[in-house]
Structures are given as structure tokens and as C-alpha cells.
Amino acid sequence: MRVTLLIGGYVFDRVAQEGTELITEYVRTILEANKKGHEFAIVAGGGKLARDYIGIARSLGASKSVLDDIGILCTRLNAYLLISALGDKAYPHPPSNYRDYLSAFLSGKIVVCGGMSPGQSTDAVAALISEYLHSDLMIKMTSAEGVYDRHPKETGAKLIPKITYSHARKIISEYSYDPGTYELIDPIALKILERSNIPCRIVHGKDPKNILKAIEGRNIGTLVYGESR
């Protein structure tokens, strides 16, 4: 199976706060799946690092396009952490555009990137890479168990195990998508996945083994899928 793996900023936040154990476990899990024949294209999120720098720049009067550039740079810093942990299994640097990503992927190394273009979240980057590579599945590792019927922090919020692209768009339509605030999965990413009918499994990033569970099709998190699946 060819998998696009989006490792949300939450994971890198924990690494910054708690040490390298979590990222080391991610690498073990990725390499375990790789040995079983699964290919990975990986995208790193920005997390608190991006939010902090974006907040500072915003207070200094930076434009939204500059805020996006700052966010992109932060995602690439996180990408370098995973590249370092993967060692010689990884392509040595994060590609900065899709053409370079595709070329790097053909090297046979595990390619890790961050953001690509202003105005695009790493969700959209992962969705586009999924489309370019004809991935069988996109997995998003995030700070929530999946998609809920309302904001997860609201009383009575319920996890939705399976949801169509169109239904997911309705739920997230009330969310904010300013730079550094992307939550769950953004609408642009959903449109990209929908047009190519690529399923996306959204799971909590606290346990790297959720990657294997998602690949195996276990009922964890939320599966976002097309009407024809």
C-alpha cells in the first residue's frame, strides 16, 4: 500500500516538551510498515512552533502571506527532525515544491516535507501529494481521536467513525483557517481527496501504532471517504 502520512504539529510539540522517545517510536513504526511493503510519503505539520512565531509576527504587523511563509519554515524544521531520526532511510532534506518531491520519491528513500506554498495548509500539501503519487490512503495523525459531530471540547461531542467528504465539509465549515489555526482537516484538502477518491483516516498522534492500525483498516479514529467507496 502507498500511504501519505501527515504527522501533525501536535506530535512535534510533544517531542519538544518531552524528548525524542515519541519520534523514535514513529520511526520504528514507519520502518516496520515499510518492511511489510508499504511505501510512505510524509508531511510534517508546524504545531506550537509555527503558532508562536506566527503570533509574534502578526503582532509586529506581518501580512498573512508572510505569516504563511513563517509557518512553512516551521514545518520544514519539524521535517528535519524526522529526517534526522530516520537517518539514511530518509531523503536528506525536505523538498520545497511538488516536482522536487516527486523526483525525491523516485529515489526510493522516505521523503519528508513540510509546507509548500502560502495559502496551503499541510493538510492540502498531503492531499496533493496523495493525488500526485496515487496513494491508496492518507493518514492524518493529529491531537484529536478523529472527527466529531461538533467541536471536541464541547459537552456531548461524539466521535464519528465514518464520514463522507461532503458531510465532513459541513462539520468543519464553522472552523477558522487563518495561518497556524488549521484543525481536523481543511476544506481544500477535502476537495482534493474527493476529486481523486482517496480515503483519509484521521487518528490520534499519541500512539504511532495507530499508523499500522489505519493501514490494516481497523476501526480507529475517523475514516473520511467518497460516496462510491
**CATH number, position 21:** 3.40.1160.10
Domain encompassing residue 59? 2-225
Sole residue written with cell 511489510: 36
Cell of 162: 465514518
What is the C-alpha to C-alpha distance for residues 1 and 23, in angstroms, rounded to an integer?
22
Size of the chain in residues: 229
Tens of pLDDT, residue by residue over 160-204, are 999 999 888 887 776 554 454 445 788 889 999 999 999 999 999
Helices and strands in the chain, H and E counts:
9, 7
C-alpha distances in angstroms, 88 versus 113, 120, 175, 189?
Answer: 16, 29, 39, 30
Between 84 and 175, whose confidence is greater? 84
- For the chain, where are the E strands, in sequence order? 2-7, 39-44, 111-113, 137-142, 162-164, 200-204, 222-225
pLDDT range class, residue 8, cuts 50, 70, 90: very high
What is the C-alpha to C-alpha distance for residues 186 and 8, in angstroms, rounded to an integer?
13
* 100 Cβ neighbours under 8 A, 6+ residues apart: none
Question: Based on the structure, what is the number of domains in the chain?
Answer: 1
pTM for the structure as a whole: 0.93
